[in-house]
Amino acid sequence: MSERRVVITGMGVLSPVGNDVATFWESLKAGRSGIGQITAFDTSAYHCHIGGEVRDFDYVPYFRTPKDGKRVDRYAGLAVAASKMALEDSGIDLNAIDPTRVGVMVGSGIGGLATLEENHTVLLQKAPSRVSPFVIPMMISNIGSGIISMEFGLQGPNMVVVTACATSNNNIGEAWRIIKFGDADAMLAGGAEASILPMGLSGFGNMRALSLRNDEPERASRPFDRGRDGFVMGEGAGVMMIEELEHAKRRGARIYAELIGYGVSADANHLSAPSPDGSGPSRAMMMALRHGKVNPEDVQYLNAHATSTGLGDIAETKAIKLAFGEYAKRGLLVSSTKSMTGHLLGAAGGVELAASVLAIRDGIIPPTINLEDQDPECDLDCVPNHAREAKVDVAMSNSFGFGGHNATVLVRRFS
């Protein structure tokens, strides 16, 4: 692989704890939960009534015209808005660069579920002729990435990887590969999701995957805690502007961190349950370390996938121990920001990489809140309840998806 170095120069975040990077980060440092009663629709007939919604945000102004912004699924609208934030944060002048050398890989684990729901209802209650002619291009999981390229005139590599909750990390990692191989100089990469909908809530709820702590939503997402009872669904978007180092330096870009490693593997075990011994995720972590040419002891912080499910948190703990050996328990700091944001599904990795990069920048580890009675099988330093100051030179972020998809990204302080 080419030795071209790849750096992060811009970030865009929409989340249940903040609609921009600064608010998101302040909320994480304060241990503030973004989980509440779902307001998008009446949940009284459902088992679960809580979620992490993106509140008080209109994505339409982020489009070139209001017409364009109103003709997209919510997930794609969030994707475009977070991408524009990342572009603006990077300071890049799109009129001064070659648009054929800038690509987009912003995916979605589920895609346009709202569009599908609405038009299926129209089909059943009205007539086939009343179904929107835009239903297919609005609901497919690649269209967010396509619309981003159209909105900003980006003509470089454009595709998405769809791997459920590993989607963002896979898109960021594959964009890293594209730049390293010289096929682009810059990429917008990450994910977006908007699945807090009747179909999403009933589907995950009937799997018994969701927390039913409806009366205390802020305490519902509790990774690594003995009392965890399922994940809390969130929505949002996390997009990184990543660039080849010399390209970034030529334009005087501010560099957040260097993207140095990426690992992928499969559990080959079950539709939704992780491999119980943690072997699958451990291979992804070790591959990322190998790509980054760093030892386990060089990593100070790991942003865990840890969704607050019974099997998943234990399996990831085992995976971390396999990948990091004795260091897992005697130095590595691990936390799950999903305790505050909920699980953003295909957008999780993009948002959590932003948290990892900011941990490097500010020397602050975001906490795992609601960790009141730590599961003895999750026996790592999970930074319970309060942020912690610590110098971070290298950080890792894990994302694992239904189907046994594992994806890990590794970032380092730029020097």
Digit-coded pLDDT (tens) for 243-256: 999 999 999 999 99
State pLDDT tens for residues 62-79.
999 999 999 999 999 999
**Which structure tokens are listed for 166?**
């590993």
Q: Where are the domains of the chain?
A: 6-250, 261-412
- From 49, 247, 291, 343, active-site residue: 343
CATH T-level topology, domain 261-412:
Peroxisomal Thiolase; Chain A, domain 1 (3.40.47)
Q: What predicted TM-score, i.e. pTM, was given to this entire model?
A: 0.97
Nearest-angstrom CA–CA distance, 43 and 57: 21
Whether 165 is catalytic is yes
Query: Crossing angle, helix 21-30 and helix 348-362, to 10 degrees?
Result: 70
Catalytic residue among 48, 49, 165, 382: 165
378 tagged catalytic: no
Domains 6-250 and 261-412 share a fold: yes
Specify the higher pLDDT residue, 347 or 2: 347
Residue range 197-206: mean pLDDT, rounded: 96
Per-residue pLDDT band for 2 (boundaries 50, 70, 90) equals low
Of the pLDDT bands very low, low, confident and very high (cuts 50, 70, 90), residue 1 is: low
User: What pLDDT band is residue 259 in, cutting at 50, 70 and 90?
Assistant: very high
Q: What is the mean pLDDT of residues 215-231?
A: 98
pLDDT in tens, 352-409: 999 999 999 999 999 999 999 999 999 999 999 999 999 999 999 999 998 899 999 9
Q: Which of 171-175, 224-228, 271-275 has the lowest mean pLDDT?
A: 271-275
C-alpha 16/C-alpha 24 separation (Å) is 8
The pLDDT assigned to 271 comes to 84
Average pLDDT, the chain: 97
CATH fold of 6-250, please? Peroxisomal Thiolase; Chain A, domain 1 (3.40.47)
What is the model's pLDDT at position 276?
Answer: 85
Can you give the pLDDT at residue 3? Answer: 84
Is residue 53 pLDDT above 60, yes or no?
yes
Please give the pLDDT value at position 273: 79
Q: What is the pLDDT of residues 399-410, one digit of tens each?
A: 999 889 999 999
In the structure, what pLDDT confidence band is assigned to residue 107 with cuts at 50, 70 and 90? very high
Encode 265-298: b = buried (16+ Cβ within 10 Å), e = exposed: bebebeebebbeebbbbbbbbbbbbebbebebee
Residue 29 has what pLDDT? 98
pLDDT of residue 357: 98
The residues near 176 (Cβ < 8 Å, ≥ 6 apart) are 6, 189, 242, 259, 262, 409
Which phi and psi (to 5°) does residue 153 adopt?
65, 35
Binned at pLDDT 50, 70 and 90, residue 229 comes out as very high
What is the mean pLDDT of the segment spanning 310-325? 97
Give the confidence band of 98 by pLDDT, cuts at 50, 70, 90. Answer: very high
Alpha helices for 111-257 (secondary structure H): 113-125, 135-139, 143-152, 167-180, 198-206, 245-250
Rounded Cα distance, 137 and 115, in Å: 10
Catalytic residue selected from 305, 378, 382, 405: 305
